[in-house]
């Protein structure tokens, strides 16, 4: 399963950082190298919750954090 951050409308640019936590309300840490608009969970993500942090550039400013996913299944 591949996860995709939502699109910016009108067109804008953003940087992305996918994050992982052992609990949905826990502390999220950056997943090394996971900085694309899409992320495909790997075996090490099983049981963890994922979220993405998008930081706008250009026409957009600020940072938005997604709602966490359900725990990643096997």
Task: Identify which of 16, 13, 11, 14 has the alpha carbon closest to the alpha carbon of residue 52.
Answer: 16
Residue 50 CA to residue 38 CA, distance in Å, equals 12
| Cis amide bond preceding 10, omega within 30 | yes
Domain regions of the chain by residue span:
3-60
Question: Which pLDDT score is estimated for 57?
Answer: 79
pLDDT band at 56 (very low <50, low <70, confident <90, very high): confident
pLDDT tens for 6-47 read 665 566 688 999 999 999 999 999 999 999 999 999 999 999
Question: Which pLDDT score is estimated for 46?
Answer: 97
Higher pLDDT, 62 or 9: 62
pLDDT tens for 5-17 read 766 556 668 899 9
Contact 16, 8 (CB under 8 A): no
């Amino acid at each position: 399963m591949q996860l995709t951050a939502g699109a910016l409308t009108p067109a804008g640019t953003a940087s992305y950082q996918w994050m992982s936590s052992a609990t949905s309300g826990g502390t999220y840490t950056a997943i090394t190298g996971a900085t694309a608009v899409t992320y495909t969970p790997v075996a090490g993500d099983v049981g963890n919750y994922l979220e993405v942090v998008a930081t706008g550039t250009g026409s957009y400013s600020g940072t938005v954090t997604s709602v966490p996913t359900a725990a990643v299944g096997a």
